[in-house]
């Protein structure tokens, strides 16, 4: 599924956006005026990637139909505004053609993933030492053909804190989208020091994955903070970070959220109950698989260590046996070759399987967070409804508030539902690939060992035949 497709959809939606911006005032006001985009007006259009219905041409067709049938009907636009609110508030406007014909063409490309237009790499970890602290920065290179980027190539340095900031912003903007997970801050078990090479390399790979997953996400890829993260110079980023809802208002939000979640979720819809169950079970299983996989790696490593000693003993032995020298030396070299094959199998495991499984362990935590946030949004609505029912507070403004909250809940639910399907599809593919690779590694390992021992056997029987024929007069 291509981001271009998403963009195509977004462009289709954008045309209708202009009329609905006024209704978004509430949400807009709480956002930072980023990149100097005006809150209203035509160029405030956010293509926002139309992501909620990825890969299902049915719904995109529906969206397309809505776009083409632009009219002044408030209801349609209401529908639109609900969808539109799913779009990223902070997204910049692409210079996309808005003619229906071109939009149709763009929607057709939706499923072709080779039209990726944003390429990101994370590499070159570097250590920085200041009087206060030591930290690592990673180089991030972005190559893109998107018009909204000022240039086609960017190179910046970012540290882990910056990634945390980005994740926070994405979660804020899209509380019910499944944001990719970040590697852990630190790993308690088996960590000698914070900056050992393996740890840095594992983290680098995970950060690379993180950014690419965002780039591949139909909605998140157009997020403004994401763009700034990829392109801004260090000082620009710091000043941008400082702008944002004040600490107090953020605290207020958190308090409200906690308070509302404490009331419990009474009316969680059936499909989300199912989703929640799945997430809980999935989380259990994937954690177990993570543990098992790590353990296998450990056992293979220890097996390898012992094998390294096994071959040389045969060489030692051959020194005291005149008649068995060749046989013993051959056995030793077979064992050594199998040893090397084991090493390769181990590295295959750590490249292909372990990082994928671990990422999904982190994903399962993310998913639980997403469920909580969805529940919170619903809880907000429920509490207002309750207030109305029991006439607790001033009931004049309540119906309007409730209306807005109902919108909010529906958007959140739809966003989650769509993103859930996309996530599940990705998960299946990733897991399938990872385990298939693991099986392949093992097959290759055993094939190599087999070839080694079979050639040993052939050489021994050949020798035997030679000796037998020598004995014959």
Partner 1 sequence: MYETCVVLFLFRSVEHTDGQSVLTDSLWRRYSEFELLRSYLLVYYPHIVVPPLPEKRAEFVWHKLSADNMDPDFVERRRIGLENFLLRIASHPILCRDKIFYLFLTQVFFFYLADSRLKALNATFRVKNPDKRFTDLKHYSDELQSVISHLLRVRARVADRLYGVYKVHGNYGRVFSEWSAIEKEMGDGLQSAGHHMDVYASSIDDILEDEEHYADQLKEYLFYAEALRAVCRKHELMQYDLEMAAQDLASKKQQCEELVTGTVRTFSLKGMTTKLFGQETPEQREARIKVLEEQINEGEQQLKSKNLEGREFVKNAWADIERFKEQKNRDLKEALISYAVMQISMCKKGIQVWTNAKECFSKM
Interface ranges with partner 1 (CB under 8 A): 277-278, 281-282, 285, 288-289, 292, 295-296, 299-300, 302-303, 306-307, 309-310, 313-314, 316-317, 320-321, 323-324, 327-328, 331, 334, 338, 428, 431-432, 435-436, 439-440, 442-443, 445-447, 449-450, 453-454, 456-457, 460
Q: Which CB atom, from 233 or from 458, has the smaller least distance to partner 1?
A: 458
Q: Please, which residue, 42 or 316, has the CB nearer to partner 1? A: 316
CB closer to partner 1, 158 vs 358: 358
- State the minimum distance, in angstroms, from the CB of residue 423 to partner 1: 14
Q: With respect to partner 1, which residue has the nearer C-beta, 109 or 456?
A: 456
20 or 318: whose CB is closer to partner 1? 318
Residue with tokens 């914070």: 194
Q: Which is nearer to partner 1, 155 or 454 (by Cβ)?
A: 454
Q: By the 8 A CB rule, do 339 and 311 touch?
A: yes
- Considering the complex, state which of residue 201 and residue 299 has its C-beta at the smaller distance from partner 1: 299
Does residue 335 contact residue 311 with C-beta atoms inside 8 Å? yes
- Measured N-to-C along each axis, helices 3-20 and 100-108 cross at an angle, to the nearest 10 degrees, of 150
362-380 burial, b if ≥16 CB within 10 A, otherwise e? bbbebbeebbbbbbbbbbb
- Residue 5 to residue 378: CA distance in whole angstroms: 31
Question: How far, in Å, are 15, 56, 209, 354, 357 from residue 429 at the CA level?
Answer: 35, 17, 15, 15, 12
Altogether, the residues listed in the chain come to a count of 473
* Smallest distance, partner 1 to C-beta of residue 438, A: 8
Dihedral (CA of 33, 38, 40, 45) sign: negative
Cα–Cα–Cα angle for 214, 411, 62, rounded to 5 degrees: 85
Q: State which residue, 420 or 445, has the beta carbon closest to partner 1.
A: 445
Shortest CB 110 distance to partner 1, Å: 22
CA distances, 2 to each of 48, 50, 114, 115 (Å): 14, 12, 7, 6
Nearest to partner 1 of 40, 312 (CB atom): 312
199 or 445: CB nearest partner 1:
445
Q: How far is the CB of 288 from partner 1 (least distance, A)?
A: 5
| Distance of closest approach, residue 221 Cβ to partner 1, in angstroms | 26
Q: Where are the alpha helices (DSSP H) in 112-245?
A: 160-173, 197-216, 224-231, 234-242
CB of 312 to partner 1, least distance (A): 9
| Cα atoms found within 13 Å of the Cα of residue 327, Cβ hemisphere only | 11
Closest by Cα among 74, 271, 88, 55 to 177: 88
State the sign of the Cα–Cα–Cα–Cα dihedral 182, 185, 187, 188.
negative
Q: 135 in helix, strand or coil?
A: strand
In the complex, minimum distance from the CB of residue 378 to partner 1, in angstroms, rounded to a whole number: 24
> Do 50 and 96 meet the contact criterion of CB atoms below 8 Å apart?
no
Closest CA to 407 of 89, 173, 83, 176: 83
Cα first-last separation, the chain: 77
Smallest separation, CB 314 to partner 1 (Å): 7
Q: How far is the CB of 354 from partner 1 (least distance, A)?
A: 14
Query: Smallest distance, Å, CB 181 to partner 1?
Result: 19
């Amino acid at each position: 599924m291509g981001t271009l497709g998403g963009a195509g959809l977004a462009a289709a939606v954008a045309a209708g956006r202009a009329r609905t911006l006024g209704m978004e005032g509430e949400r807009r006001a709480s956002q930072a005026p980023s990149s100097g985009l005006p809150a209203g007006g035509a160029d405030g259009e956010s293509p926002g990637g139309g992501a909620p219905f990825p890969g299902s041409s049915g719904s995109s067709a529906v969206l397309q139909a809505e776009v083409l049938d632009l009219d002044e009907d408030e209801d349609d636009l209401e529908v639109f505004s609900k969808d539109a609110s799913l779009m990223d508030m902070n997204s910049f406007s692409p210079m996309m053609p808005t003619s229906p014909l071109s939009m149709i063409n763009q929607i057709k490309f939706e499923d072709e993933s080779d039209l990726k237009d944003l390429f990101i790499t994370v590499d070159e970890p570097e250590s920085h030492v200041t009087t206060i602290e030591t930290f690592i920065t990673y180089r991030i290179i972005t190559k893109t053909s998107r018009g909204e980027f000022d240039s086609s190539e960017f190179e910046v340095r970012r540290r882990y804190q910056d990634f945390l900031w980005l994740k926070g912003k994405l979660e804020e903007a899209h509380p019910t989208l499944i944001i990719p997970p970040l590697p852990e801050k630190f790993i308690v078990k088996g960590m000698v020091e914070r900056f050992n090479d393996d740890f840095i390399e594992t983290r680098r790979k995970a950060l690379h994955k993180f950014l690419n997953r965002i780039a591949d996400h139909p909605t998140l890829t157009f997020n403004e903070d994401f763009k700034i993260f990829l392109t801004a110079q260090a000082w620009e980023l710091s000043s941008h970070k400082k702008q944002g809802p004040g600490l107090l208002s953020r605290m207020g939000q958190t308090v409200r959220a906690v308070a509302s979640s404490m009331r419990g979720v009474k009316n969680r819809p059936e499909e989300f109950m199912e989703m929640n169950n799945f997430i809980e079970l999935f989380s259990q299983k994937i954690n177990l698989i993570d543990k098992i996989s790590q353990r296998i790696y450990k056992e293979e490593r220890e097996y390898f260590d012992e094998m390294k000693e096994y071959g040389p003993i045969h060489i030692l032995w051959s020194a005291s046996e005149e008649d068995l020298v060749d046989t013993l030396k051959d056995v030793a070299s077979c064992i050594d070759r199998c040893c090397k094959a084991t090493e390769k199998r181990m590295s295959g495991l750590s490249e292909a399987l372990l990082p994928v499984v671990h990422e999904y362990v982190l994903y399962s935590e993310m998913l639980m967070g997403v469920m909580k946030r969805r529940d919170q949004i619903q809880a907000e609505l429920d509490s207002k409804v309750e207030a109305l029912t029991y006439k607790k507070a001033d009931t004049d403004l309540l119906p309007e508030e409730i209306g807005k909250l109902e919108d909010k809940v529906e958007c959140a639910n739809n966003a989650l539902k769509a993103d859930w399907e996309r996530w599940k599809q990705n998960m299946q593919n990733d897991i399938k690939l990872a385990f298939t690779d693991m099986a392949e590694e093992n097959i290759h390992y055993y094939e190599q060992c087999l070839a080694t021992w079979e050639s040993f056997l052939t050489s021994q029987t050949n020798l035997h035949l030679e000796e037998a024929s020598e004995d014959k007069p």
